[in-house]
A and B are shown apart, each in its own frame.
Chain A
Amino acid sequence: MKKTALALAAAAALLASPSFGADKVKIGFVTTVTTPAGVIGRDMVDAVNLAMQDIGGKMGGLEVELIIEDDGFKPETGKQKTDKLVKQDDVHFVAGFIWSHVLLASRKSALDGGKFLISSNAGPSQIAGKLCHENFFSTSWQNDQTPMAMGEVLNQRGVKSLYVMAPNYAAGKNMVSGVERTFKGEILGKDMTKWGKDAQLDFSAELAKAKASGADGIFVFYPGKAGGAFIKQYQQAGLQGEIALYTVFTVDSIALPNLQKAGMSGVLGSLNTQFWGPDLDTPQNKQFVSGFKKAYGRYPSFYAAQSYDTIFLIKSAVEAVGGNMDDMDGMRAAMMKADFPSVRGPFRYGNNHFPIQNFYLRQVVEDADGVWTTTVVDTVLKDHQDVYAAECKM
């Protein structure tokens, strides 16, 4: 696979005529490197570096320059860094973005500056709908889709009533509206907790309420380290067996190592939905997961998977125009085809440039080496498009 990629790059290099346009592909990558959420940013930066290695540091015969910026988990900092990438570094692509509120604050700077904006994670409803833009692309999902898949799972499993918990910010609201859209039972209670650099991590009061509500299940969205903290307290409060746990973006390869170390075996067997899984059987995913584990000694998270795809999406665009970085129309047309080896397998882009893709049910298991991970057990939604695409006039 690596050889093919190199051969392709070499072929493209021959075809390219680097005498015109830029002599370098410049990619700015905004993520969270500091604060406790820096553990997510590390996974993304590691994946991007791995992708750069796997493509030999070149796209369409051009050198690739990667500039990593830290948003500090703050919308205003994310915007400042995006401005810097657009005006000072004059990058061709602004990519990255874990957080919906950071992406929403930064989008105008990148798009008004005439750059391509690629979200490697955040998928706020606004950008999928009314604020959609021809130069925006996502390598992840729209926020509502994954919880919509979970709502379907809950219906299939006969869950009648639900307690809902999520952080109080753009993505948290999308996650809640997503599960509410498909779940047919009754929602007995809802808590939106404080989020950001000083996020609430002690959920004692909320868990006591969830228990008193008598719901069949609890649906939660707590990305990053908050996920691990939530699961621990769920188990310490003895809610296992009383109120079944269903999560999105909470139990992943970032939370699992610490949960395993803390002996929180209650998480084994719990269910979550996702567009991807480390054991998803595609050639690109095999190369990615084994390469990541070899380089960094741990499982990649979905954040890493999407970041790896980001580099390959950009590469497909640069190669399609033979390295002529001034050909924005050519690169846009190429990206709309989604003609690159994605870790999730083949997919296509909708009118709003969000992927139309499958969503899977995953279960937490112990792998052959005794490491806790997730495995895909079922396909919940096939070729699913987000609901906001209809609001996008494009």
Chain B
Amino acid sequence: MDAGLVAAQLLNGLQLGVLLFLLASGLTLIFGIMDFVNLAHGSLYMVGAYFCATLTDVTGSFLLAVALALPATALVGAAVELLVVRRLYRRDHLDHVLATFGLILCFDTLVQMIWGPEGMAIRLPAWADGQQHLPGGLVFPTYRLLIIGAGLAVAAGLYVLVVRTRLGMRIRAGASNPAMAGALGIDIGLLFTLVFALGAVMAGLAGMMIAPITEASIGMGNEIIITAFVVVIVGGIGSIRGAFVAALLIGLIDTMGRSFLDMGLKLVMSVQAAETSAPALSAMLIYILMAAVLAFRPQGLFPPKAR
């Protein structure tokens, strides 16, 4: 097993990790602050991708499209919070799941009615479409490096927002004790809408970043949202830092499992058996990690303080 391949797979794992972080950070904020289970978070990921694809067609520029699609996705997120989610905070988690599952069906059908079933490709600008030669003879797609860079920048920005600003202070106060924060004069309703829109923007950004690699398609968020929930649980509900560490961990475990598990299994069993069991086992790895975390540290790796 050569070092170049391991390095390439580490970068691939990192790229998957930052993408998961963008999704999971919004999910964990909404889960932690509002105690709201939002299955439809993946729909905002899809909406972001479709907005970006359409705007890339209209404006001819991918970057401009991203810049315009981000506020548009925020508006959709705010609208969902004001029209639907707001009415559900006082209900229990099962109601949240039912209602947001309904939202997924509505979003999927709406997208099919507006954009059709065939999905939308996004054309990358030429400068982002090539490969970069990294030290050590490693060749890596430019665009995947961009995803890593953008994801890490957003993570840093989010850290500053939550830890260094007044809004962040309110968000943290809301996460620790919403009733007390409300009693101290923080407009909890406005805060919740803002947090929901912020989560929508980050989910939308993740969708915009993956769409040029796969494409914008119906139901694209429904699979990755499950992985994002695993990230939230492993990291500790409500913890941005936990989501960051867990997202990178899960991105790396998933990629490394897909890369090297069959090689390892071939050492202990027949080639045939290794080839059939490796894909199944590598798909299970992250759930095994989640089960282990739930068994030994049910509050997650980095639970928020003072809950």
- Decide if B64 is an interface residue (CB 8 Å cutoff): no
Query: A232 within 8 Å of B by Cβ?
Result: yes
Q: How many A residues touch B, CB cutoff 8 Å?
A: 39
Residues from chain A with a CB closer than 8 A to the CB of B217 are: 36, 225
Q: Which of A157-207 contact B (CB under 8 A)?
A: 168, 190-194, 197-199, 201-202, 204-206
Residues of B within 8 A of A229 (CB): 213-215
Q: Is A270 an interface residue (CB 8 A)?
A: no
A236 touches B16 (CB 8 A): no
| A191-B255 Cα distance, complex, nearest whole Å | 13
* Among B124, B218, B220: residue with most chain A CB under 10 A: B218
Residues of A within 8 A of B16 (CB): 202, 204
Contact with A along B10-22 (1 / 0, CB 8 A): 0011011000000
| B117 interface residue per 8 A CB criterion | yes
Which of B120, B123, B219, B222 neighbours the largest number of chain A CB atoms within 10 Å of its CB?
B219
Does chain B have a CB within 8 A of A287? Answer: no
C-alpha gap A238/B258 in the complex (Å): 21
* B264 adjacent to chain A (CB < 8 Å): no
**Neighbouring B residues of A194 by C-beta, 8 Å:** 279, 283
Query: Which residues of the partner chain A approach B143 to less than 8 Å between Cβ atoms?
Result: 236
Q: Which of B4, B108, B124 contacts A212 (CB 8 A)?
A: B4
B279 touches A193 (CB 8 A): yes
State whether the Cβ of B41 lies closer than 8 Å to any Cβ in chain A: no
Q: List 9 A-B contacts (CB under 8 A).
A: A35-B219, A193-B279, A204-B12, A204-B255, A212-B4, A212-B5, A236-B141, A237-B131, A238-B141
For residue B97, CB closer than 8 A to chain A, the reply is no
A42 to chain B, nearest CB (A): 6
Q: Which residues of A contact B (CB under 8 A)?
A: 34-36, 38-39, 42, 168, 190-194, 197-199, 201-202, 204-206, 208-209, 212, 225, 228-229, 232-233, 235-238, 254, 257-259, 261-263
Complex CA gap A232/B128 in Å reads: 13
Please report the number of residue pairs spanning A and B whose Cβ atoms sit closer than 8 angstroms. 118
* Chain B 264-275 near chain A by CB (<8 Å), digits 1 or 0: 000000000001
A258 lies within 8 A of B121 (CB)? yes
Q: A36-B217, A192-B279, A258-B119 are in contact. Are A202 and B9 (CB under 8 A)?
A: no
Q: Are B279 and A236 within 8 A (Cβ)?
A: no
Q: Contacts of A263 on B, CB cut-off 8 Å? A: 123-124, 129
Q: Report Cα–Cα, A199/B219, bound state, in Å.
A: 11
Residues of B close to A237: CB separation below 8 A: 131, 141
Which among A36, A202, A209, A261 is the interface contact of B218 at CB below 8 angstroms?
A: A36
Other 11 A-B pairs with CB < 8 A, given A42-B117, A236-B213: A34-B108, A198-B226, A204-B144, A205-B258, A205-B259, A208-B12, A208-B259, A212-B4, A232-B121, A236-B129, A237-B141
Q: How far is the CA of A19 from the CA of B87 in the complex (A)?
A: 62
Contact A258 B118 (CB under 8 A): yes
CB-CB under 8 A for A258 and B215, given A237-B141, A238-B130: yes
Question: Taking A192-B276, A204-B255, A258-B118 as contacts, is the C-beta distance between A212 and B2 under 8 angstroms?
Answer: yes
Answer whether A238 and B139 are a contact pair too, CB < 8 Å, given A194-B283, A205-B12. Answer: yes
Cα distance, A38 to B218, chains bound together (Å): 9
Chain B residues near A199 (CB, 8 Å)?
223
- State the Cβ distance, B105 to closest chain A Cβ, in Å: 10
Tell me the nearest residue of chain B to A228, going by C-beta. B215
Q: Would A198 and B222 count as touching, CB distance under 8 A?
A: yes
B8 at the interface (CB under 8 A from A): yes
Cα separation A42 to B117 with both chains bound (whole Å): 8
Q: Top 9 A-B pairs ranked by shortest CB distance?
A: A198-B223, A262-B121, A238-B131, A258-B121, A204-B12, A212-B5, A229-B214, A38-B117, A36-B217
B212 contacts the other chain (CB 8 A): yes
Point out the residues of chain A lying under 8 angstroms from B139, CB to CB.
Answer: 238
A226 — nearest CB in chain B belongs to which residue? B214
In contact, A36 and B220 (Cβ under 8 angstroms): yes
